[in-house]
Structures are given as structure tokens and as C-alpha cells.
Structure 1
Amino acid sequence: MKPQLAHSRDPEMKSSLQELLIYMIFLTDLGILTFGMVSTDMFYLNKVMSSLFLDTSMSETGNTNFKSIESVDDFWKYAEGPFLDGLYWDASDIRSSIAVNGTTRHIYYENLLLGVTQVRQLKVRNNTCSVYPAFRAFMKECYGPYHYLSEDKEHFGLKNGPEWWYFTSQSLSPWHQGLVGLYSSGGFTFTLPKSKNASIDKLTYLKEKGWLTRGTRVVFIDFSMYNANVNLFCVVRLVLEFPATGGVLPSWQIYSVKLLRYTTYYDYFLAFCEVIFCLFIFSYIIQESIKMKILKEEYIKNAWNWLEILLLLLSLLAIVFNIYHTVEVSSLLEYLLSNSFTYPDFYLLALWQTRCNNMISVNFCFTCIKIFKYVRFNKTMTQLSSTLSRCAKDIIGFAVMFIIIFFAYAQLGYVAFGSQTDEFSTFQNSIFTQFRIMLGDFNFASIEQANGILGPIYFITFVFFMFFVFLNMFLAIINDTYSKVKAEFSVMPSREFEISNRIREGYRKALAKRKLKRKSTSQNAILYAVRQDRRDKE
């Protein structure tokens, strides 16, 4: 490399090194915050609650747990048996040092149940589906699948209590996406008493009076608990869907989240990191605003700038949510402490906290990827970026053909095998199943059993086109372009500035200066000793 060229690129190199150093500090700070939000205790708490409320069976039958519920009778057996046994944990065991009174209850000795448990159902009206004329004489009632417009909001049954009255939700809780439907946040709601015997009496009463009807389409069981040992809230939602086809489809959501953020010294350290993170974000916003003003139309042509905007938006959303989360948790706890016989709706906070964690994890992932922006002087990175940019048109053309064939096979699998196999039961499942086939993770016997002729034909032709043709075409495009780029770089003069070389060179200079300084210090010490000896002799 010519000295003049090297000298002209030195300022750009130094600027990139400075930006990289500052960015690594920001990345470290974001990494501390990201990993500070989660812990292995969350997994173990979820596992314990799952074992207690999902896998525990009745001692008499040994087969009625939450996952095995298939009918209305099974639901009442589970609610009166394993569910209440887990919810009203027996604290008389000698291992428990907790005195349980009429206002507080502990689950598995360590988890404080917050408030009371809420049970909610949604129904549909009669005659919400069309019956073929020839069968109308035999079917006087028809309850279709759940839809918000067909929801039954009329008071029913005895109409003498809140469990028989329809309530519209006053909170901002989002609608629940179940296995077969999207459910609103209202419904017919009641809470369980704090006494186990009273809860059994109430459930028995509702069962006898027919609280669950043919129009029932979903039942939600919500409760929350707090474990002070690990400072985690565990929010549980058990869902039982009653589809129009009959039967019951159980599902569940268990969230272990950290809602009380500042309790230990490490939490205060995280708070300090949060302040640093906010300062970084606001400074980056100012920098990007200045760049937009200077570059104008050129700004949006750079893909790195789009990534920068995405990271800033995700970071701002995380900051806003953390402020809202802190205020809302304090409000909920104050309300709960003033009235412990109500249901505290921590589900919304837990849901958004989980989504915020997911958002921050995505943000951290993209932040790590952005490091490539600061190592653009590296020869290997230049070859990689040149390869991808040169073969972009070929890859786009290949992707169009791939998508056409891929989705054609996806609809074939959904229509041909969807009614027989779970892997193709929905169009989305069909798409993911085909990706699994490409990776070698697939149960061939299921589609062969669904269709003995079309199943093998579908499998063989799909594997042939996707794996042997398209996948090899994709690899050929990348390999061919990379070979050309590498050949061009091999004959070109070395003009890149290696950041690693620059860092190594700076380290050697600093080390050399330090050695010279030590040598000079040693020489001065010797001269001083000689002079002092002469003075003593005189």
C-alpha cells in the first residue's frame, strides 16, 4: 500500500476504531440489561407450577389431570379435585414453617397466592349456524363456532349472582388467541372463596345448576402468586376450549416474570445500567437526526441506517414500557393490599413483560449483528459483502421460483392430509412441516396412513425438487459468486486497513513506550544512587 494512500485513510480508520470502542461499551451495557431480566429460576418455577396444575391426577382415578380433560364431566372432576388440591396447598406438613390463616395462602410452601382465583367463560347464542333443511326437524338448536358477533351476552341461568351476569372487561387486556378461536376479554365471571370447602361448595352448586351449557366455547382459570425467595411473580392461565365439533381442547400459559425490579444491590446496578442505556439511546437519536438532516435522500439508501432506526424504535418502546410497568405494578399491589378478596389482574403485565423481554432479545441480537458495520475494513468482511451484493439478483430470482413451488406443495399437503394429520391441520402447520422435511425431521408414516397413494408421491417429489434441485441451486449460486470475488481479491493490491493490525500496532507502540520509560527510570535511579554515594564519601 502506498504511504500516501495509507495516510489519507488513517482518519477514517481512527474514526471507525473510536466508534467501535463506544459501540462495544453500549453493547456490553445492553447485554447486562438483557441477561439481567431473566434467570434459571423462571424455568424451575414454571416447571413446578406445570407439574402441580397440569400433570397431577386424582388419587382415586389416577388419570384425570388437566391435559387429559376431554368432556364437561372431566372439567368438573379436575376443578373439584387436582386443581383445588394444588390451589389450597396443605401447609400442615412439618416442613412448612408458614402459618396459613384466613387471608393468606401458600402454594408449595414458598409461593404466596395473590388475592383470589378468577374463572371466566364465553358463550355463543343459539341459531348461530345454518342447518341443512332436511335436518331441521331433528336439530332444534345450533351453536356455531365462537365469534365476537355471535357471542351470547344475555344473563342466563338463575340470574341471581355475578356468575350468571355478563360483564364487559374494563381493563386493556388483549383478546386471547386460543387453539381454535380468538376470544374477547369479557364474559361470565366468578371468583373462588379463600376457603377450600367453600370453593368446593361453590363449584358443586354451579355444576348442579348448569353453569356450563351447550353454548359455552371457552373457560379461563386465572390466578397469580409471588415467590419472595427469588423475587418472581408467577401468573397462570388455564384455558379449556369447547369447539363446535364437541370435546374439550386444553391449553395453558404460565409466565414467571420479575415485576418488582429494585430490591437487591444487583438490581440497583441494573438501574445504573438502565440510566447509561437511556443516555446512549438519546445520543444516538441526536446523531441519527443530524445524519438525516445532512444526507436527506441518501440516508434511506443505506441498509445500516434502516437497522439503526429499528434498534432505536425497539429501545424507545422498551424504555416506555419499563416506566409504565413500574407505575402499574405499584398501583396493582396497593389495590391488592387494600382488598385481598379480589382478583389481581397481573396477567396483562406478565404478558407484556414477556413480550418486552422478547423485543429486547431481538434488539440485542440485531445490536450484535451491527458490529459488522464497524469492521468493514476487514478483507474477509469485504469479500462476504461483495459476494452477497453481486449474487443478490440471482438469489431473488431463485427465491421467486422456490416460493412458488414451496407454497404449491404447502396447499397440496394442507388439502390432502389436513383432516388426518396434525402436521398439516392448518396451512401454517403445513408450511412449518415442509421446512422440517427439508431438515430431515418428519414422520413419513403419518402422511402415508392419511393417503397411501398421494402421500408417498407428495413426499418423494417434494424432497426431489426442494432438496436435490433448489437447495443445490442456491449453494451453486453462492459458491460461484464467491469464487469469482475471491479470485478478484487475490490479484488486487492489498489496500484494506485491518483493524486488528491497527490495534496490534497500537499495543506494540504502547508497550515499547512503557519499556523505554522503565529503562529511563532505572537509569535515573542508578545515577541518583551513584551521586548519593559520592556525597556520603565527601
Structure 2
Amino acid sequence: MNQFKRSHANYGNIHYTTEVGTKMALRHVATFCVYLIAVTIVGYSMTPKEKFFYNTGMKKIFERELRIPEIVSPRFSRVRTIRDCWIYLEQRVLPALHDYRFSSYDNKWLPQINTNTTGILYSDNLLLGAPRLRQVRVRKNTCNYNTAFLRYFNDCVGAYRPRFEDTTADYKDTPYKTIDELDATAIYGEINTYDTGGYVQQLTYNYEKNVIIINELRNKTWIDRASRLLLLEFNLINVNKELLMNVRQIFEIMPGGLVVTKYESLTTFFDPLFVKRGYAISICVILMYGLNMYYTYFEIKKIFINGFTHHMTNTGFWLCTPRITLIYALLCYNIWSYVAVTQKKEELKALSEDFISIDKLIYINQTYRCCLGFILFLSWISLLLFMDFNPVLRTIGLAMSKAAKDLAAFIVMFVILFIAYGELGLLLFGSDVKDFKDFSTAVLTMVRMIGGDFDYFKLETDHQILGPIFFLSYLFIMFYIILNMFLAAIVLAYRTATKTVIYKPNFLWYVIKKILFRLTFGLVAAPTYPRLRADMQFDEHNLKQLHLLHEYTEAEEDMEILCTRLNLIEETFRGFTNTLTDLIADAKKRNRKHKRK
């Protein structure tokens, strides 16, 4: 028995191999179900259906059909040149923001409401300040070109790079402002990311004034060869649902003169508090934060009892600790958001036409939603920790833990293949096939090919020889070699796990029947104490088989604890025997002395 060492403490682990452990597990399951329901309700309350239809409806306004005699007004997604940008702004954006309609009878734009200078959009939406235009420019002579082209172009303007950006104080009567002065966040376009401010042109609430501003900007060539980004941004609030919307229409101007568009619209609740959304949601929020404090105390207690190093090897640690941390981050967001919204309310009271930026509020809200999404994901995955009573799930979990090292090695191989074929596809097909337009998209395309989401005929059309070779070689290496080896490692681990899991008794149904037997005063049949089948008894052969596995399964941990207790009993009996021997020897010695006397 000395070959077995005492295992670490396993306080807080969920198991159904003993009656006491099963009762403790059922209490944990009941508490966690309350927590899971509360978190799920809070998560669903953050994404009402109105958000989706509000975003898509606003986008469709700028994509709808527009028929004006003798004028071709492109949709937002079909803007391709700088000239298209000006036509789009004048013929689509301004009428949409001021609720104007083109009258064929009068041959001009007419308002649908009388009060067109209040910032009210479609009756129930209020503009948070007038819209504004922003432009990002690069300096001239930021690229090299052949002197033979001097008779055509006096200078050369390169692609956007932060070091090439033009930051002079003024450009054609529009001031340059930094991103901090604008209280804005970075702009993520299709080509580049613009973490900067730019030259700002403020618009007004008045349609006629805005038309004059747009025409003036067009006449003085405000957008030219050095322009790399034109941004139209405006913010709305829906008074019925108290929803904030941040709309960004991005026009990226490439060095070739063509325009690439991207539409962004993000929404959030104006009031971050959950009280106004119903008492049920408020109660769920209180339960979520309260139970999170309970789990914080429980995790700290497990660390003190089990030891931090040993506790880190437990799967529950990596599921529970991030979840607890993220919920505390949500609490900090709610406090910060309350202060930020209070400041925005003060700005609204000023009744000014100045643009009110809510970029940071929207960005933090998006982060908040992502955190809440990960909390929901980790919470539902943690539910698997309580499913140890199911032999199949128990075996799968044990198999995955056994195969972890092998799977990690295969993941490294997968990543290398994705990168290698992604770079090859980028160089071969990047100029014509959208799926290989850049490195990140190419690597993602390699991942999609595993699931069958791939258009083979595009590759074949682009290159009739290299396209099929690229596809078939990747398919052969990934599917017929690497993926089969990956599955083989899992199957071998599953077979090994099956040999150990069968020796674990299950007390769940015994405890449930016992509780029902007591609650019904004997109407339900008394439970039978769980026993192992005859072919699962611990004989010498089975014990050797378990010992040869060299895996610290729960069955072996129970055996080690049992052997340790037997060792303690053996030492106690040995001490008792030695003491009894000493007493007998002492008694004989006294008898001898008594006889001599």
C-alpha cells in the first residue's frame, strides 16, 4: 500500500460516487440553476428585437429606390467615385435626415412636416446634435513615382498610413481636430483602421443650409486626390424605447480614385439601469450579482483548502474564475455608464446644434454585451460539470482530459497548415478572389474549407491549373491525414477512459429515491444501495489494470484515499500492539518483583 500516495484535497468538486457527495452536488445544482436562469434573462434583455429592426430599417432608408427625373442618385452600397459621394449626400442623405420627399409636380424637394429645424426624424427619433462630416487626408509627395509622369501629375499621394496623415491646423476653412478633441473612437473601414480625428465640417438642422454647405464643399473641391476617408456620422435617440443609435457611413477613397463604402449602426439603451425595464429583470440582476459574490467566496475557500496550484488543474477553475471576473466588470460598467449618461443628459438640455458624441458610450456598451455573451457561454458550459452522473458525459470529459496533450500538438499542426496555405492562397488568388483578399481572410477561408463552406469554381476560374492543385492538396493533407489522426487520438483516449469510469458507483438516483421515500412516508419504494456489477469488482487483475494506466482519475483518487485510511488504521493497530506489549512486559516485571518480596 505504500506505493499509493495521499491525493490532494478535492473540496468543492462535484461527484456522485458517495451519498454525502451526491447531496452536496444536488445543493450546488439547485443554486447554479437559479444563477443560470438569472444570467440568461439579463442577457436576453440586452438584445430586444427592436434593436435589429431599428438598425436594418435605418440602413434600408439609404438603400431604397429613388426616382428623380434627369438625376441618377446611387444607393449607398453603389457609391464608387467621389462624384457619386456628392450626389449621394445631396440627393439621399439630406432628404432622409430632414424627412423631405421629391415632388414631381413641383420638381423639387418638399418637407413632410412643418417643423424641419428641430432635429426630429420620422416623428419619434431625435438627432443628438446636427450631423457632421469628417475627412482624413494624407500629405503630398508621400510616395515615389517616375519623373516621366511629371507632365501629368505635379505630385504623388500614397495610401493612408498614420505617419503620412496631414494634420495641418486648417484645410479650406475646416479645422483639424484630434480624436480626443472629438471624443470619438477609431474608424474601422474595409481597407484600413483610422485611429485619428480629421477635418470636421459641422452641418445644421436646416435642410436649405445643409444643401448650401454641401454645394460649397463640392465647388471648392474639399475632397481631392489626397483624401483617404470621408465619414458622415449622426446620432439618434428613439424616445419610445430610449434607444441610442450611432450611424457611421464610411467612404474610403483608394489611391486609384475609387471609393469603398461601409455602413455601421450601433444601438444601446439610453438609461443603463435595469429598473425601468421591469421588476423581473431587476430581481435577476440582483440575483446575478449576489450569487456571484457567493461563488467568489466559494472559489477563495477552495483555493485555501485545495491549494492554488492543485486548484488550477481543475476544469471548474477555468470556467468559474473568468465568469466571476467578467460579472464584476459589468458592475463597474453600470456605475460608469450612469455617470456618462448623466453628462449626456446635461448636454441635451443645452438645445445646441453641436454634434453630441456617444462613440465611447456605444463602444463600452458593445464591450459590455461581449462580456455578457461570454458570461452566458461560460455559464452554460459550466452546466456540464454537474452532469457527472451520466456515464457517457463522464467518459467524454475524462477522455478529453486524457487527450489534452495530443490535441494540443495537433492544434499546432492545424495552425501551421492554415497559415501556410493561407499565405499561398493570398499570393496565388488574392488579386481576384474575395476569399483571399488579405491574410486574415485567407486563413479564415482555410478554416471554412474544413466545414465545406467554400467556392471551388472561383479558384478554378481564376487559375485552371494551380486552383485544383491547391484545393486537392489541402483536402488530402487536412482531411485524409491530419483530421483522421486527430480523431484517432480522441478514440484511444476514450477507450482508456472507459476502463476507469465503469468502477465509479452512482448515488444520484439512490439519494433522489431516498428523499422521495421520506417525503411520501413510504409510498415510494425504498431505494436499493448502489453496488457494482459482478464484472466490475475490484479483484487483483482490475487493480493492476487501473494502476498501469498511470492516470489520476477520480476512481484512483478514491482508491488512494481508501489506501491512506487503511495505512492509518494499520499504524494505529501497530501502535496499539506495541503499547499492549509494553503493558504486558511491565505487568510481568511487577509480578516478578512482588514474588521476590
Which TM-score band (shorter chain)?
Answer: 0.7 to 0.9
SS in 2 for 1:217: strand
Give me the whole-angstrom Cα distance separating, in 1, the residues matched to 2:304 and 2:402: 31
Q: 1:419 to 1:485 in 2, by over 3 A?
A: same
* 1:412 to partner: Cα distance: 0.9
The residue correspondences of 1:311-460 to structure 2 (distance < 5 A) are 311-460=323-472
- Kept in 1, the 8 Å contact 2:399–2:493? The answer is yes
SS in 1 for 2:133: strand
Does residue 1:51 correspond to 2:57, yes or no?
no
Give me the whole-angstrom Cα distance separating, in 1, the residues matched to 2:128 and 2:351: 11
- Kept in 2, the 8 Å contact 1:336–1:342? The answer is no
- Kept in 2, the 8 Å contact 1:58–1:82? The answer is no
- Kept in 2, the 8 Å contact 1:56–1:82? The answer is no
Does residue 1:463 correspond to 2:463, yes or no?
no
* 1:384 to partner: Cα distance: 1.1
Aligned to 1:24: 33
Task: Give the structure, 1 or 2, with the largest relative contact order (CA under 8 Å, sep 6 or more).
Answer: 2
Aligned to 1:534: none
- Kept in 2, the 8 Å contact 1:100–1:106? The answer is no
SS in 1 for 2:278: helix
Give me the whole-angstrom Cα distance separating, in 1, the residues matched to 2:236 and 2:342: 16
Aligned to 1:145: 159
* 1:511 to partner: Cα distance: 3.2
The structure carrying a bigger helix percent of its residues is 1
Aligned to 2:280: 269
* 1:139 to partner: Cα distance: 4.4
Give me the whole-angstrom Cα distance separating, in 2, the residues matched to 1:369 and 1:283: 19
* 1:89 to partner: Cα distance: 0.7
SS in 2 for 1:370: helix
Q: How many residues align?
A: 501
- Kept in 2, the 8 Å contact 1:261–1:267? The answer is no
If the length of structure 1 is used for normalisation, what is the TM-score?
0.85
* 1:130 to partner: Cα distance: 2.6
Q: 1:387 to 1:108 in 2, by over 3 A?
A: same
Give me the whole-angstrom Cα distance separating, in 2, the residues matched to 1:250 and 1:78: 12
SS in 2 for 1:116: coil
Aligned to 1:528: none
Structure 2: gaps (5+ residues): 1-14, 104-111, 526-597
Worse-matched range after superposition: 278-287 or 414-423: 278-287
Give me the whole-angstrom Cα distance separating, in 2, the residues matched to 1:266 and 1:333: 19
Give me the whole-angstrom Cα distance separating, in 1, the residues matched to 2:435 and 2:521: 66
Q: 1:504 to 1:224 in 2, by over 3 A?
A: farther
Does residue 1:74 correspond to 2:88, yes or no?
no
- Kept in 1, the 8 Å contact 2:133–2:233? The answer is yes
- Per-residue CA deviations over 1:392-438 (Å, capped at 9, x if unaligned) read 23323333333333322111111111111110011111112122222
Q: 1:323 to 1:113 in 2, by over 3 A?
A: same
The residue correspondences of 1:172-251 to structure 2 (distance < 5 A) are 172-251=183-262
Give me the whole-angstrom Cα distance separating, in 2, the residues matched to 1:64 and 1:503: 69
* 1:103 to partner: Cα distance: 4.6
Structure 1: gaps (5+ residues): 1-5, 517-538
Q: 1:157 to 1:315 in 2, by over 3 A?
A: closer
What amino acid does structure 2 have at the position aligned with 1:380? V
Q: 1:263 to 1:371 in 2, by over 3 A?
A: closer
If the length of structure 2 is used for normalisation, what is the TM-score?
0.77
* 1:197 to partner: Cα distance: 1.0
Aligned to 1:11: 20
* 1:86 to partner: Cα distance: 0.8
The residue correspondences of 1:109-120 to structure 2 (distance < 5 A) are 109-120=123-134
- Kept in 1, the 8 Å contact 2:116–2:207? The answer is no
Give me the whole-angstrom Cα distance separating, in 2, the residues matched to 1:321 and 1:376: 36
SS in 2 for 1:142: coil
Give me the whole-angstrom Cα distance separating, in 2, the residues matched to 1:479 and 1:132: 63
Aligned to 1:529: none
Aligned to 2:96: 86
* 1:7 to partner: Cα distance: 12
SS in 2 for 1:200: helix
What amino acid does structure 1 have at the position aligned with 2:143? C
SS in 1 for 2:486: helix
* 1:23 to partner: Cα distance: 1.4
Alpha-carbon RMSD = 2.8
> Which structure has the greater CA radius of gyration?
2
- Kept in 1, the 8 Å contact 2:178–2:196? The answer is no
Q: 1:253 to 1:514 in 2, by over 3 A?
A: farther
- Kept in 2, the 8 Å contact 1:91–1:100? The answer is no
| Match 1:285 to one of 296, 301, 309 | 296
Does residue 1:169 correspond to 2:183, yes or no?
no
Q: Report the identity percentage.
A: 24
What amino acid does structure 2 have at the position aligned with 1:371? L
Q: 1:408 to 1:8 in 2, by over 3 A?
A: closer
- Kept in 2, the 8 Å contact 1:103–1:340? The answer is no
- Kept in 1, the 8 Å contact 2:134–2:199? The answer is yes
Give me the whole-angstrom Cα distance separating, in 1, the residues matched to 2:16 and 2:156: 83
- Kept in 1, the 8 Å contact 2:120–2:127? The answer is yes
